[in-house]
Amino acid sequence: MPNVARLAAREVLLQPLPSLRVGQNHTTSSAIHRVDFVGTLVPWPNFEGDVIAAFTSQTWDTQTIDVIISGLGAGDSVSEEQLVLGDETGLQGRLNERLSRPVTTCLQAQGRLLRVGDFKASRKAARSGYSRVPDLVVLDNGAATKVVGEVKAPWPVSHVRMLSRGVRLFQMGQEHQLRRILGQVARYMKDLNVRHAFLSTYEETMFLRKIDTTTGWALQFSPVITHDPQYSNPMRTITTRQGLFYLALLGQTAQPFATRPSRSQWTT
């Protein structure tokens, strides 16, 4: 018989994302836009430690908000990944189901008036006629955009572990690839005047924030968070759900850009 475990908000955030089922046939072309981030780009110091500190400081609601089925006979359960993916639209659906919905539920359980949703549901989209469409946003109770997110499929050759590769090259002084990877979502940040963003291939996720410095501004990028690690305080490992929960908390109280770079100073 399979085991059924009841999960409250804390336990939901600790669940890794199940591995994708990618079909034999799938898209192969790259969806990376020809946009480069050209401002100051630096690592986000102590990101995992900040996430863990925020996580452990919460007073967690104990109501059951989900269950997980595991063990013998669980292979056909909803807890296992069942859908076969072939394009980015399907991938965005899996992120909505496995990441956005659980994190939103946890935010609500904790009394945070935030929801992950579609950009078209935002106040900005409704009032301004902004023509670009980010894949995901975090909205407050008034439909203001607090965090912006972009999704890229991991299976094209150019996307295989692209975030990890971009960071490695950045550390070697070869910044162009990471700047190109982050260009599209960075442009959304500037256009929508939000300080926090994330980019995800599902298998890898990077969290971003814009900071003001004494000489101007910078964009910080987190370490790459893979979809399947187990949370460990001593090892400083976190789940993707914990990372997005933390970013939403930051975005909720963040002010718009205090210093506004021109378009050419941010992305080209």
pLDDT per residue over 182-240, tens digit each?
999 999 999 999 999 999 999 999 999 999 888 789 999 999 999 999 999 999 999 99
The reported pLDDT for the residue numbered 256 is 81
Does some domain include residue 25? no
The reported pLDDT for the residue numbered 227 is 97
Does some domain include residue 194? yes
C-alpha angle with apex 265: 139 to 185, nearest 5 degrees? Answer: 35
Does some domain include residue 246? yes
Does some domain include residue 162? yes
CATH code for the domain in which residue 146 is found: 3.90.1570
- Give the other-Cβ count within 10 Å of 82's Cβ: 11
Does some domain include residue 13? no
The reported pLDDT for the residue numbered 129 is 75
- 37 DSSP β-pair partners: 267
pTM above the 0.85 mark? yes
The reported pLDDT for the residue numbered 54 is 97
pLDDT along the chain (268 residues), means of 10: 94 97 90 95 98 98 96 88 92 96 98 96 85 95 96 90 97 97 97 96 97 88 97 96 98 84 88
Does some domain include residue 4? no
Does some domain include residue 149? yes
Q: Give the residue numbers spanning the domain of 42.
A: 35-61+90-255
Specify the number of domains making up the chain: 1
The reported pLDDT for the residue numbered 192 is 93
The reported pLDDT for the residue numbered 218 is 94
The reported pLDDT for the residue numbered 94 is 94
